[in-house]
């Protein structure tokens, strides 16, 4: 029997070993993991919650998966998405779970070490006077994912976690949301409520001349401006708002409220770092921070334009037709805002020219769904939501509490009204321009406010209106609509203008 030497040479192993670096997740990888995990559970997690998970985990694989599991468990217990957001994902519960397995000695070591991190082992050894228990304790805490070791340096996985076990505090939960309505419109709506404290959405429908959905959309952005709050008893204007208004400092208060929106604050920080951001890059920047929100590129452009308009009016940024720059005014800019009397173009009036956002066949289908009682709530596809909004604008349906809708007339009456509407100005001029081959850019100028839209949005809406024109025979059935003006020789060949 031959006995071989079972001794393992560590030096030899080190010589043949290959070093592999395990990188943290990129934004795209983390986004993909969250999407896959959320799709694999029956619980519906809102995009806002998923975005907050992504923001908190910072690309660390273990922390991302652990936080997701925590959110799924909390949601399964009956916690609402609103509660999750307002409580900061209940991170205190997650942290207590992670610390529960430590004994008093281990927890004491973690607290002492975390207070001086990030640091190398050599620096820690000097600080702990070459404590023989230091290395095994660091290995144990790292193995339990309470510390991380990367590039020769120890650190905590997350500054939020560090603050929790050092100071037993969680960060203030600021909102991280997109503003969708211009500040001019928000302030106009605020002035319209007068001195009321309690706000009833049903009454605001008449006061603001909007649909119930439109009222809630305005209230949402008024909340982001700090002008209203949602309490257990409903919507109301906080006393502090009236106090600032009485002192002539309402603009200063709104400015502070907007800075609490983490998206606005992060944009300002990146703006200061870069010195300038183009309008196109601003839209891309915003889209990257909301990876779970799926809208068209021109909508991101609109969101970015609205955000930068808010910042400019609040003396937080400066804008030009091509770019956005940091605010270079004096330090007392907030005091100069007064009660924020803002001017300019606000929301499009309800009486503005109607332009459909869906094809006629989709509108017909949704009208029938509502007539049958199946078009209520939010369980509609995106195109169906848009069709329902078209029906509301045309006053073919009414909206009641709880996202319930009902038709106001027979379909034949509705169709006759639409035909009569489209046979008047400015639609007649629109059909004429389209038939002449002038293109959407020229044809859209006949429709109020259309010329102010992004080119992609304008062309898209013109195509929808042309679809209605073909159905009602204002345009030939097989007519091919030109997005750009035809050349003069092309018009002559078609017999146009001769």
Q: Is the pLDDT of residue 45 over 80?
A: no
Q: Residue 439's pLDDT is what?
A: 83
Q: Is the pLDDT of residue 210 over 90?
A: no
Nearest to 370 by CA among 382, 360, 385: 385
If pLDDT is split at 50, 70 and 90, which confidence band does 427 have? very high
pLDDT for 493: 41
Q: How far is CA 15 from CA 4, 21, 150, 157, 466, in A?
A: 22, 17, 21, 31, 73
Delimit the domains of the chain by residue range.
Answer: 27-89, 98-167, 175-347, 360-418, 423-493
User: pLDDT tens-digit profile of 66-108?
Assistant: 778 888 887 888 777 777 666 667 777 777 777 777 888 888 8
pLDDT: which is higher, 2 or 315: 315
The partner residues of 325 in beta bridges, in order of sequence, read 318
Q: Which of 94-103, 143-152, 304-313 has the lowest mean pLDDT?
A: 94-103
Strands 234-236 and 277-278: unpaired
Residue 22 has pLDDT above 60, yes or no: no
Q: Which of 137-146, 159-168, 341-350 has the highest mean pLDDT?
A: 137-146
Cis? peptide before 118, omega within 30° of 0: yes
- Residues 237-259: pLDDT tens digits? 999 999 998 888 899 999 999 98
| Rounded mean pLDDT, 297-304 | 86
Least confident segment among 43-47, 251-255, 319-323:
43-47
Give the pLDDT score at 452.
Answer: 57
Q: For 404, list phi and psi in degrees, rounded to 5.
A: -110, 145
How confident is the prediction for the chain on average, in pLDDT? 79
CB of 201 closer than 8 Å to CB of 216: yes
Average pLDDT over every residue of 346-360: 67
Residue 287 has pLDDT above 50, yes or no: yes
Confidence of residue 496 (pLDDT cuts 50, 70, 90): very low
Higher pLDDT, 83 or 147: 147
Whole-angstrom distance, CA of residue 246 vs CA of residue 248: 5
pLDDT (mean) for 161-187:
74
Q: Residue 105, class by beta-carbon neighbours within 10 Å (0-12 exposed, 13-18 middle, 19+ buried)?
A: exposed
Pairing mode, strands 323-326 and 277-278: antiparallel
- Res 375 pLDDT > 90: no
Percentage with pLDDT > 90 across the chain: 19
Please state, in angstroms and rounded to a whole number, the distance separating the CA atoms of residues 82 and 96.
22
Q: Are 163 and 171 in contact (CB under 8 A)?
A: yes
pLDDT at 349: 35
Alpha carbon distances (Å) from 203 to 62, 182, 239, 493:
50, 22, 21, 57
Distance between alpha carbon 459 and the CA centroid of its chain, in Å? 24
What number does CATH give the domain 98-167?
1.10.10.10
Is residue 307 over pLDDT 60?
yes
3-state secondary structure of 476: coil
Beta-bridge partners for 153:
120, 150
Region of poorest pLDDT, from 130-144, 149-163, 433-447: 149-163
- Sorted by sequence, the CB contacts under 8 Å of residue 153 that are 6+ apart come out as 118, 119, 120
Residue 404 DSSP SS3: strand
Residue 52: the pLDDT is 73
Res 79: pLDDT? 77
362 band by pLDDT with thresholds 50, 70 and 90: very high
For residue 49, the model assigns a pLDDT of 78
Provide the pLDDT for residue 162: 73
User: Looking at residue 3, what is its pLDDT?
Assistant: 47
- pLDDT for res 348: 38
Cα separation, 345 vs 343, whole angstroms: 7
Mean pLDDT score, 136-160:
81
Give the integer Cα–Cα distance in Å for 145 and 161: 12
Q: Which two tokens stand for residue 128?
A: 């702990």
Average pLDDT rounded to a whole number, residues 420-447? 88
- The reported pLDDT for the residue numbered 360 is 95
Q: Which of 431, 418, 429, 377 minimizes the C-alpha distance to 399?
A: 377
pLDDT > 60? residue 347: no
Tell me the C-alpha distance between 467 and 113, whole Å.
68
- Nearest Cα neighbor of 138 from 167, 112, 99, 104 is 112
């Amino acid at each position: 029997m031959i006995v071989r030497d079972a001794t393992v040479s560590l030096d030899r192993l080190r010589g043949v070993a290959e070093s592999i670096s395990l990188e943290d997740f990129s934004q795209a990888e983390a986004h993909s993991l969250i999407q896959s995990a959320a799709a694999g559970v029956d619980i519906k997690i809102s995009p806002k919650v998923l975005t907050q998970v992504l923001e908190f985990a910072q690309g660390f694989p273990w922390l991302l998966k652990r936080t997701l599991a925590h959110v799924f468990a909390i949601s399964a217990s009956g916690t609402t998405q609103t509660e999750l957001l307002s409580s900061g994902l209940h991170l205190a519960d997650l942290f207590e779970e992670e610390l529960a397995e430590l004994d008093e000695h281990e927890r004491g070591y973690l607290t002492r070490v975390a207070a001086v991190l990030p640091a190398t082992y050599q620096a820690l050894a000097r600080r702990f006077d070459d404590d023989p228990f230091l290395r095994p304790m660091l290995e144990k805490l790292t193995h339990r994912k309470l510390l991380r070791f990367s590039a020769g340096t120890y650190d905590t996985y997350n500054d939020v976690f560090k603050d929790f076990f050092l100071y037993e505090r969680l960060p203030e939960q600021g909102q991280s949301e997109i503003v969708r309505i211009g500040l001019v419109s928000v302030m106009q709506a605020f002035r319209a409520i007068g001195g009321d404290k309690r706000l009833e959405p049903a009454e605001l429908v008449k006061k603001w001349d909007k649909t119930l959905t439109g009222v809630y959309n305005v209230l949402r952005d008024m909340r982001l401006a700090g002008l209203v709050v949602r309490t257990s008893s409903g919507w109301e204007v906080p006393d502090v708002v009236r106090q600032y208004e009485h002192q002539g400092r309402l603009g200063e208060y709104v400015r502070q409220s907007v800075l609490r929106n983490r998206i606005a604050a992060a944009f300002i920080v990146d703006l200061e770092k870069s010195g300038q951001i183009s309008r196109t890059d601003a839209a891309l920047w915003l889209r990257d921070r909301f990876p779970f929100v799926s809208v068209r590129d021109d909508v991101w452009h609109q969101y970015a334009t609205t955000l930068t308009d808010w910042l400019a009016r609040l003396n937080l940024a400066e804008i030009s037709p091509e770019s956005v720059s940091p605010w270079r005014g004096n330090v007392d800019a907030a005091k100069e805002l007064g009660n924020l009397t803002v001017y300019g173009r606000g929301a499009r009036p309800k009486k503005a020219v109607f332009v459909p956002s869906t094809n006629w066949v989709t509108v017909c289908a949704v009208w029938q769904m509502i007539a049958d009682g199946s078009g209520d709530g939010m369980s509609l596809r995106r195109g169906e939501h848009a069709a329902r909004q078209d029906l509301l604008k045309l006053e073919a349906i009414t909206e009641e509490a709880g996202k319930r809708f009902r038709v106001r007339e027979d379909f034949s009456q509705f169709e006759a009204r639409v035909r009569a509407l489209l046979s008047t100005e400015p639609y007649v001029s629109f059909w004429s321009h389209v038939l002449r081959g002038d293109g959407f850019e020229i044809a859209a100028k006949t429709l109020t406010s259309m010329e102010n839209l992004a080119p992609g949005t304008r062309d898209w809406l013109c195509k929808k209106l042309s679809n209605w024109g073909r159905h009602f025979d204002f345009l030939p059935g097989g007519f091919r609509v030109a997005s750009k003006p035809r050349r003069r020789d092309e018009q002559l060949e078609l017999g146009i203008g001769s």
